[in-house]
Amino acid sequence: MKSLKLHLTVIAILSSLIVLQTGCGGDSKESNTSNDNQSMMNNNSGLTEWELESGFGPVKKKLNLGPIDPTMAAEGEKIFESKCATCHKLDERYTGPAQRNVLQRVTPEFFMNTVLNPDENLQKHPHSKEMLAQYMTKMTNQNVTIKDARALLEYFRVLDEELKNNTTTKK
Amino acid sequence: MNRRYIRALLIGISVVAAFVLMHYGCQESKNLSAGDEAEKVYVAPGDYDEFYMFTSGGFSGQIGVYGLPSGRLFRQIPVFSQDPEKAYGYSEESKPMLMTSYGFIPWDDAHHPELSQTDGVPDGRWIFINANNTPRVARVDLTTFTTAEIIEIPNSGGNHGSPFVTENNEYVVASTRFSLPIPNEDVPINSFKENFKGTLTFIKVAPDGKMSIAFQILVPGFDYDLAHAGKGPSHGWAFFTSYNTEQANTLLEVNASQNDKDFIAAVNWKKAEEYIAKGNFKKSSSTFYRNYVDEKKHMAFSEKNSEVKILSPDDCPGLIYYLPTPKSPHGVDVDPTGEYIAAGGKLAAVIPVHSFSKMIKAIENKDFETEVYGIPVLKYESVLAGEVENCGLGPLHTEFDGKGFAYTSAFISSEIVKWEIGTWKVVDRIPTYYSIGHLSIPGGDSKKPWGKYVVALNKITKDRYLPTGPELTQSAQLIDISGDKMKLLLDFPTIGEPHYAQSIPAEILMKNSKKIYPIEENEHPYGIKAEKDARVERNGNDVHVYMSTIRTHFAPDNIEGIKVGDNVYFHVTNLEQDWDIPHGFAVKGAQTSELLVLPGMTETIVWKPQQPGIYPFYCTDFCSALHQEMQGYLRVSPKNSNVEISYRIGN
C-alpha cells in the first residue's frame, strides 16, 4: 500500500516535468516559425479561436465585406498617408513592417482590431507580441475611428487584389 | 523613616516623572502621525486621489497640481514664468503669452488661484491666477492644464487683491496693492496724498472664457489688499480690504499701523453696470495687453488695448461704501450663505464679522459715521454681526466647511482656529508648522464647500524636513476636518511658495481632461498633417523646417544647405495621436530651450547657427524603446557657400 502511494507520487512528479518540458518545446518551436498565419493559429496561450484569428478590439464578429468600394478605398488611402505612413511603407521595412501584403498575413478583422486597439493586442495577442519583439517599437494608437479603420481595410483590399492579379498574370 | 524623608522622596519622584513626561511630550510633537493618519492619506499605487489641489507657485510664477489626500505632485503649469522644460515662453508660439505694455516679461509672482464657478460652486472649467508685480490675471484651461489667456491690468501698481470670481464668473475682480498717480506720471513721492489713487478692476469673463476689462473704479490712495465677491443674497456686491488709510509712503510697518480701523470697501457692481450703461464714466487711455492661445493654431497671439472705462465714486452715488474694520485687514471672506463677511485684521485681537443684511439696512438708514473722499463710512456697530475673540495672533484668512464652521489662519501664532458662525466662539485650534499664510478647504470660498480637509499653506519650515542649505522648502499641511477636532494628517513640501491653493473633487475635472490634440484639427500655419509633407524651404535668410515626429523618427532627419547667419525655424509637428506620447526636440547650440510637442501639436523654435559644421538633434522625451535612435543631423555651411537645401529620411 505504502509503495503504491510512493509510485503515484513519482508518476505525478514525472508527468508534471513532461508537461513543463513540452510547454517549453512548444514555445521554442513557435518562435522558430515565421510570422505567418500558421503561427497565429498554432498557439497554446488560452485564447479562443476568434481571438486568435481576429485579435482584441471593437470588431467582434466576422465582417461581411462585399465587393470593393472604390470611394471608401480612396478615403482609406488618404488616412494611410496621414496616420500610418509615418511608420509603414508599402514595400519596405520602416518603423513597422511593409504593409502591401498585410491581408495575406492577417484577417480583415485582425487588421481592424490592431489599428483600433493596438495596446491590448500588444499585451495579449501572440502575433502582436511577436511583431513587437521583431520591430521593437509599439504600434501606436493613432485614434482612428471605426469608419476610418474600415476605409483603411478597403484600401488594403484593393492592394491585395492587385497583388493577386499580378501573381496570376505572371503565371 | 521620618515623614520629611518620605515627602522629599515623593517630590523627587514626581520631579523625575515630570521630566520624563516632558521629554516624552517633545518626542511626540515631531511625530504626531502615529495613529490611523497614514491610512487616511495612503492612495495605493494606481489608485487616484480624491481631489485636485492647485497651489500658486508664489515667486515661481507657476501653478502646482497636487493630489489630495496623498500630497503627490502631478504637474507644474507655467503661467507667468518661462519654463524651458515645456518651452513655455521660449517657443515662438508661446512667447506672446508673456507680452505686456512693458515688453516681454519672463517672470512674475503668482498668488491666488481661483476656480471658475457656476451658481457659486467651482465648476472645473478654468482656474484664474494673478500676477502681482506686473499686474495681470491669467486664465488656465483645465481641460489641457495649460495657460489659455493673460490680461494685463492697467492703472494698477501691484495686482495683489485678485482674482476673485462672482457666482457665474460674470467678473473676476482685482485691486491694486500700491496706489499710484493715475495716469502714471513723474511726481514727488511725498505728494502721495495729493496725487496717488487706487483702482478696483472688474474683468468681464465671456461664456467662452475670453477676458476683457469691463471697468475700473477710482478709489482713494490706500493699499488694497484682498477681495471676495458676494454670493446668494450678497451676489452683486464685491468686498475689498484696504490698509494704509494713513496714506503713508515710507516705513509703512509703523506709519500704516496707526489707525484703529481701516476699511473694507463694499462695491455694488450691479450699480456700476447701471452707471456704465448710462455713460457715467471717463475713458482713460492706458496701454494693456491681452494674450490668448488659439488652440487650433497651437499659437498665442497678443492684442494691444488702449482704453479703459473709469468710474469715479464722486459721480456714482451708491456705488461704494466703507465698512470700518480693525487694524490693517488682510483677508475678506464671505461665508457660504453670503450673509457674513469675515475680515482678518493682521494686527487685530479679534476677527470682526460683518453682516450683509445689516449693511444693507445701515445703507438704507444712512447710518454713516463719516465720509472719506466722498465715500460714506458705515458705523461699525451697525454692520457688525459679531467678533471672534481669542482668535490667535495675526489672523489672516478664513475659509468655510459648509457645516456652520469657519477656519481662520493665524500667522503670528502659527495655528488654525476653528470657530462657529453665529455664536462666534472658538471651538478648536491646531498648530501649523510654521507661519501659516492662506488656508484652503476644497470649495472653501464657495457656496458649497466639500468640508473634508483644510490645507495649511506655510511660509516657513525650519526643522520640518531634511535641511537643504540656507534655502528651505515651503510646505502644505493636510488637516482632517471631518470630525469635531482637527487632526493633522500629512505634511508635504511644495515647489515655490504655496501662497494660496484651491481644490476640487477629481471627478469634476477628470472626465474633461483632454488626451490629444486631433491632428485633423491642427491649423498651425507651419504644421503638417502627414510625413510626406515634411520639407525644408529657404526664404532669404530664413529656413523653415517642416518636421514631423512619430515613434521613432524625425522626418526629415538629414538636412543640408543651412548656412551661418540663417534663422532656422524648426516647426515640429507631433503626428502621434496616442495619449501621453509627446516628443521632444533639441538641437546643439540652441539658445532657447527644447521643444516638448504634444500629440497633434506643432511647435517652433528658432535656431541661429554660428559656426559651420555638423549639428546633431534628438528627441528629449523618452518615447519608445528606440528613443535613443530618434535623432538626426544638420549640416551648416559657411555664409557664402553654395550648398543647396536638401533633406531626406531613410534610404
Q: What is the pLDDT of residues A5-52, one digit of tens each?
A: 555 555 555 444 444 444 443 343 333 334 444 444 555 678 999 999
Over 90: is that where the pLDDT of B620 sits?
yes
Is B603 a residue whose pLDDT tops 80?
Answer: yes
Chain-chain contact of B516 with A143 (C-beta, under 8 angstroms): yes
Q: How far apart are CA A15 and CA B286, in angstroms?
A: 90
Mutation for testing the A interface, residue in B529, B574, B577 having most A CBs under 10 Å:
B577
Whether residue A157 contacts residue A81, with contact meaning beta carbons closer than 8 Å, is answered with no
For A80, nearest residue in chain B (alpha carbons) = B530
Higher pLDDT, B112 or B24: B112
Confidence bin at B28 (pLDDT 50/70/90)? very low
User: What is residue A13's predicted lDDT score, i.e. its pLDDT?
Assistant: 54
For A141, the closest chain B residue by CA position comes to: B578
Residues of A in contact with B624 (CB under 8 A): 137-138
From the number of C-beta atoms within 10 Å of its C-beta (0-12, 13-18, 19+), residue B257 rates as: middle
Size of interface A-B (CB pairs under 8 A): 54
Residue A140: partners with Cβ closer than 8 Å, 6 or more residues away: A87, A118, B550, B551, B576, B577, B578, B581
Q: What is the pLDDT of residue B303?
A: 98
Q: Are B387 and B421 in contact (CB under 8 A)?
A: no
Name every chain A residue with its beta carbon within 8 A of the beta carbon of B532: 81, 85
Query: How far is residue B419's CA from residue B390's CA, in Å, rounded to a whole number?
Result: 10
Angle at B161 between CA B308 and CA B147, to 5 degrees: 75
Give B459's pLDDT tier (boundaries 50, 70, 90). very high
User: How many angstroms separate the CA atoms of B298 and B187, rounded?
Assistant: 44
pLDDT of B347 reads 85
Out of A86, A136, A144, the one facing B550 most closely (by C-beta) is A86
Pairing, β B375-378 against β B73-78: unpaired
The answer to whether A142 contacts chain B (CB < 8 Å) is yes
Beta bridge partners of B201: B174, B216
Shortest CA distance to B77 belongs to which of B142, B24, B14, B22?
B142
The string of pLDDT tens digits covering residues B190-223 is 999 999 999 999 999 999 999 999 999 999 999 9
Report d(CA B125, CA B109) in Å as an integer: 23
Touching B: A residues 45-74, CB under 8 Å: none
Count of other CB atoms within 10 angstroms of residue B40: 16
Q: Which of B573, B576, B598 to mutate to test the interface with A (most CBs of A within 10 A)?
A: B576
B109-113, B238-242, B626-630 — which is least confidently predicted? B626-630
Amino acid at B196: F
In terms of CA atoms, which chain A residue is nearest residue B556?
A: A86
The C-alpha cell of B264 is what?
A: 473694507
Q: How does residue B495 score in pLDDT terms, banded at 50, 70 and 90?
A: confident
**B152-165 pLDDT per residue, tens:** 999 999 999 999 99
In order of their start, the domains of chain B are: 65-342+349-393 (2.130.10.10), 526-648 (2.60.40.420)
Q: In terms of C-beta distances under 8 Å and separation of at least 24 residues, what long-range contacts does B255-261 make, across chains too?
A: B256/B223, B256/B328, B257/B327, B257/B328, B257/B347, B260/B326, B260/B327, B261/B324, B261/B325, B261/B326, B261/B327, B261/B380
User: What percent of chain B stands above pLDDT 90?
Assistant: 90
Of the pLDDT bands very low, low, confident and very high (cuts 50, 70, 90), residue B9 is low
CA torsion sign for B14, B19, B20, B22 is positive
Tell me if B578 and A140 make a contact (CB, 8 A cut-off).
yes
Q: Do A86 and B555 touch (CB under 8 A)?
A: yes
Min Cα–Cα distance to chain A from B294, Å: 23
Say whether A78 sits in a helix, a strand or coil: helix
pTM: 0.88
Mutant choice from A115, A137, A144, A145 vs B, greatest count of B C-beta within 10 A? A137
Helix axes A146-170, A70-79, angle to 10 degrees: 110
User: Which residue, among B587, B619, B583, has the nearest Cα to B601 in the 3D structure?
Assistant: B583
Find the closest chain A residue to B533 by CA distance.
A82
* A4 near B CB under 8 A: no
Q: pLDDT (tens digit, 9 = 90+) per residue, A62-71?
A: 999 999 999 9
pLDDT (tens digit per residue) in B67-122: 999 999 999 999 999 999 999 999 999 999 999 999 999 999 999 999 999 999 99
Query: Using CB atoms, which residue from A136, A137, A143 is nearest to B577?
Result: A143
- The stretch A113-119 carries a mean pLDDT of 96
Contact B576 A138 (CB under 8 A): no
What is the mean predicted confidence (pLDDT) over B399-420? 97
Better-scored residue on pLDDT, B126 or B349: B126
Which range has the worst mean pLDDT, A22-31, A78-87, A132-141? A22-31
Q: Is A90 on the interface with B (CB under 8 A)?
A: no
Q: Enter the C-alpha cell of residue B473.
A: 522648502
CA–CA gap between residue B345 and residue B328 (Å, rounded): 5
Can you read off the three cell numbers belonging to residue B455?
490645507
Return the residue matching grid coordinates 512674475: B108
Task: Work out the mean pLDDT of chain B and round it to a whole number.
Answer: 94
How far apart (Å, rounded) are the C-alpha atoms in residues B637 and A6? 84
Query: Which residue from A81, A83, A95 is facing B553, i.e. has the nearest CB?
Result: A95
CA-based torsion, B526, B529, B530, B532: positive or negative: negative
**Residue B13, pLDDT score:** 58
Phi, psi at B417, each rounded to 5° = -115, 125
Name every chain A residue with its beta carbon within 8 A of the beta carbon of B551.
87, 95, 137-138, 140
Residues of B with CB under 8 A from a CB of A: 516, 518-520, 529-532, 548, 550-553, 555, 575-579, 581, 624-626, 650
Q: Do A86 and B650 touch (CB under 8 A)?
A: no
Q: Which residues of A fall within a CB distance of 8 Å from B575?
A: 82-83, 86
- Amino acid letter for position B651: N
Q: Are B157 and B201 in contact (CB under 8 A)?
A: no
Whole-angstrom distance, CA of residue B28 vs CA of residue A149: 63
Provide φ and ψ at A75, rounded to 5°.
-60, -45
Residues of A in contact with B553 (CB under 8 A): 95
Q: What is the pLDDT at residue B11? A: 57
Predicted complex: ipTM over 0.85: no
Measured distance CA(B110)–CA(B147) in Å, rounded:
13
Higher model confidence: residue B469 or residue B495? B469
Partner residue facing A82 (CB), from B530, B578, B581: B530
Q: Please check the confidence at residue B21 and state whether its pLDDT lies above 80.
A: no
Give the list of residues 6+ apart from residue B445 with CB closer than 8 angstroms, or none.
B114, B164, B228, B333, B334, B399, B400, B502
Residue A153 has pLDDT above 90, yes or no: yes
pLDDT of B348 reads 86
> Residue B35: its pLDDT value, please?
74
- pLDDT at B287 exceeding the cut of 80: yes
